[in-house]
Amino acid sequence: MKILIILPPFFPATSVEATIKQILPDAEITTNTDFGQSNAEVLVATTFTKVDEQLVSKFPNLKFVQIASTGYDNVDAETLRKRGVKLSNIPTANKESVAEHVIAVALAQLKNLLYFHNEIVNGNWPFLTNSTELMGKTFGIIGMGAIGKRLAERLLYFGVNTIYSDPVRIPEEEEENLGVSYAPMDELLHRSDIVSLHVPLTKETDRFIGEKEFNLMKDAAIFINTSRGEVVDEPALIKAIKSKGVRACIDVYSQEPPDPGSELFKVPNVIFSPHIAGVTVESQQRFIADTISNVLKYVQGLEPSYQVL
């Protein structure tokens, strides 16, 4: 079965290729989509490649697409559905990385680390602080998938009150094990000191968090987005930062790289990162291993894991 793997040009192709070739020696690996037709039956890609109708049309024999990522909003699912092509993602490989990142930036905001860093670099020595503790805070998780659950597990050790909202409520026993309680969306926003967003980008979640939602949040609440930039109405976020003192931690943007002249980069109390919440050495190793494992399952005639189509 012919396999084509499309890697982004900035990936360490040599080391990744060496790993892949040990297990899938016949797989073809490329870093661009500027090619004619391919006879591959299996396509492996990352979120940096648009798997749209134009690309899919180059694969007359395509039967299975594997996205080496949690998100798969770069895929034209309807085109695959019409062609009867199966689609899988890897939703668990970066759950540890994202959970740790969320806690790290939440603590950085609570402890005013950026402010203190800048003060000392500029020759000042603050004597007073308005830093606060994570313990005792209400932490709201929007989206209780693999990452949301891992975040809840990690928060168990911090003594927080963790609440969550999701279209599908998890079983009561699992809520108890995770130390979480369910709250409708509006209630979660109203009660939470920290809100962390963990939902996929779909038609339903496009601009999911807007002015109405920010108005429900507490003044000076911390808002964390490590999901997708398009899930948040950016002008509404900027307004909430200015008018309510919302402190934000932003890892994802509707345009990546973002426009450096954006007003978002001119407002205070925001920690920015370049879509790397789920990117660690360990998580990338897990993505490669899980992707290869899933492709092998399909090639061997088994049902692939994490199938979304």
Rounded to whole angstroms, the Cα distance separating 242 from 123 reads 28
Residue 157 identity: Y
Residue 137 identity: K
Q: How far is CA 237 from the centre of its chain?
A: 18
Catalytic one among 228, 230, 234, 247?
228
The DSSP secondary structure of 218-247, one letter per residue, reads: PTT-EEEE-S-GGGB-HHHHHHHHHHH--E
H-run or E-run covering 119: helix 113-121
Rounded to whole angstroms, the Cα distance separating 154 from 140 reads 14
Q: Are 45 and 28 in contact (CB under 8 A)?
A: no
Rounded to whole angstroms, the Cα distance separating 70 from 92 reads 7
The DSSP secondary structure of 13-73, one letter per residue, reads: HHHHHHHHHHH-TT-EEES---------SEEEE-TTS-B-HHHHTT-TT--EEEESSS--T
Assess whether 275 carries a catalytic annotation. Answer: yes
Rounded to whole angstroms, the Cα distance separating 309 from 295 reads 15
Tell me the C-alpha to C-alpha distance, in Å, between residue 225 and each of 42, 180, 181, 182, 198: 33, 20, 21, 20, 7
Catalytic one among 83, 190, 191, 275?
275
Rounded to whole angstroms, the Cα distance separating 238 from 61 reads 47
Q: Residue 166: exposed, middle, or buried by beta-carbon count in 10 A (0-12, 13-18, 19+)?
A: middle
Assess whether 256 carries a catalytic annotation. Answer: yes
Catalytic one among 119, 256, 263, 282?
256
Assess whether 81 carries a catalytic annotation. Answer: no
Rounded to whole angstroms, the Cα distance separating 27 from 273 reads 34
Active centre residues (catalytic): 228, 256, 275
